[in-house]
Amino acid sequence: MRQRLVIGLTGNIATGKSEVGRILAGLGAHVIDADRVAHDAIRPGEPPFDAVVCAFGPGIVAPNGTIDRAKLGAIVFRDRAALQRLEAIVHPTVTAEVDRQIAQVREGVVVVEAIKLIETGMHRPYDELWVVTAPRAVQIARLVETRGLSGEEAALRVDAQSPQEAKAAQADRIIENHGDFEQLHRKVEAAWAQLLEEPVTIRAARRGDLGDAAGIAAVLNSVIAERRYTAMAGHWTAEAEQAYLDGLRRRSEVFVAEAAGGIVGLQSIAPFVSYPSNMDHVAEFGTFILADYRGRGIGHGLAEASLRFTRTHGYEKVVVFVLADNPVGLAYYRSLGFEERGTLQRQTKIDGVYHDEVILEMHL
């Protein structure tokens, strides 16, 4: 591990982001709570204080001269534009203070915890991005229980934030928090161990290598068995996959992600059609990652290798087809820069049931 590794930790309200931060601190990370920095930034005497009062009126000032956070929250969580005004005032001060605290740590793991980490772009210079998620119903129930909000108030706060799926699509690691504390602790410990001990290698699949073919087939079969993320069906054997790899044409490739001695993900690149030749400039992608390795940035690593390949092999555009009821897949491709171009009705049949597919494209 490098001398200092910086992780951005985020998650929407009531997902358990702060609990994950506390667990990481117990494991040895130096945690910077950017949300606490933001709270401190609007104390009397701090530069943003007057600007916030000016923007939202003297009615948000409590009798003791501090900002009444409940009153301020009632304004900004009902009005997205108001929330953006508040963030624009406070964010520069928060970023400067967080950067100052990071610079003070010479080695080890630094975790910057912030609810608006992605929206403000703070995460971009960091080494990894971790996103904590939870089902909407769980978020609302937690807010009702822990903060005494009504169900309607809790729902407003949950829905005022950007979609979790979009954040998760950008994550290097996703921590799903829909269970109890012990389950969460085990997940964070596992992610911490992977961070310290398990590098991921992206490379081209080896032709004529039955081991690679078996690893790819295992990933395909695992994703197919989930019946959520692909229109593919059936069961792949190592021999069938080896025949596929050996038959790849010059402008086709399969990149694999390797970790812990095995293949954990792959991305294929092939011509959109082999005939007619007037579509030679269009490539098609397919992405498959084992469930335990999603949310660790593997998809983005595969995409970097695949996009380099397409650009150096004469492609000008890439298209993908994603099941319309696969929000994770759609968010992943959007995060890479793909744009939706339409929905194909009843495009594929899985176990006798028709499904729509969304077509997305990226111009290179």
Q: pLDDT by residue (tens digit) across 168-181? A: 989 989 999 998 88
Residue after which a domain boundary falls, among 156, 178, 197? 197
DSSP letters for 173-232: EEEE--S-HHHHHHHHHHHHHHHHH---EEEEPPTT-HHHHHHHHHHHHHHHHHTSS-S-
The CA distance from 320 to 339, in Å, is 10
Non-local CB neighbours of 309 within 8 Å, separated by 6+ positions: 253, 255, 269
State the CATH number of the domain containing residue 228.
3.40.630.30
Residue after which a domain boundary falls, among 138, 169, 197? 197
pLDDT of residue 184: 93
The CA distance from 94 to 199, in Å, is 32
Contact status, residue 9 vs residue 130, Cβ threshold 8 Å? yes
pLDDT of residue 176: 93
Around 285, how many Cα atoms within 13 Å sit in the side-chain half-sphere? 31
Q: Which domain holds residue 63?
A: 4-197
Strand order, beta sheet including 201-204: 201-204, 253-259, 262-271, 282-289, 317-323, 353-363, 339-350
- 117 lies in the same domain as 145: yes
- 125 lies in the same domain as 221: no
Contact status, residue 259 vs residue 299, Cβ threshold 8 Å? no
Residue after which a domain boundary falls, among 197, 231, 264? 197
- 356 lies in the same domain as 340: yes
- 173 lies in the same domain as 289: no
- The CA–CA distances, whole Å, from 41 to 46, 128, 169, 225 equal 6, 26, 30, 50
Q: 259: helix, coil or strand?
A: strand
pLDDT of residue 198: 62
pLDDT digits (tens, 9 = 90+) for 274-306: 677 889 999 999 999 998 787 677 888 899 999
- 176 lies in the same domain as 224: no
The CA distance from 203 to 300, in Å, is 13
pLDDT of residue 273: 84
- 58 lies in the same domain as 205: no
Residues lower than pLDDT 70 in the chain: 1-3, 197-198, 274, 295
- 74 lies in the same domain as 141: yes
For the chain, what is the domain count?
Answer: 2
Contact status, residue 167 vs residue 131, Cβ threshold 8 Å? yes
Around 163, how many Cα atoms within 13 Å sit in the side-chain half-sphere? 11
pLDDT of residue 305: 96
- 28 lies in the same domain as 176: yes
pLDDT of residue 1: 43
The CA distance from 318 to 361, in Å, is 6
- 260 lies in the same domain as 310: yes
The CA distance from 52 to 84, in Å, is 12
- 212 lies in the same domain as 347: yes
pLDDT of residue 83: 87
State the CATH number of the domain containing residue 40.
3.40.50.300
CA end-to-end span of the chain: 34
- 156 lies in the same domain as 10: yes
- 187 lies in the same domain as 256: no
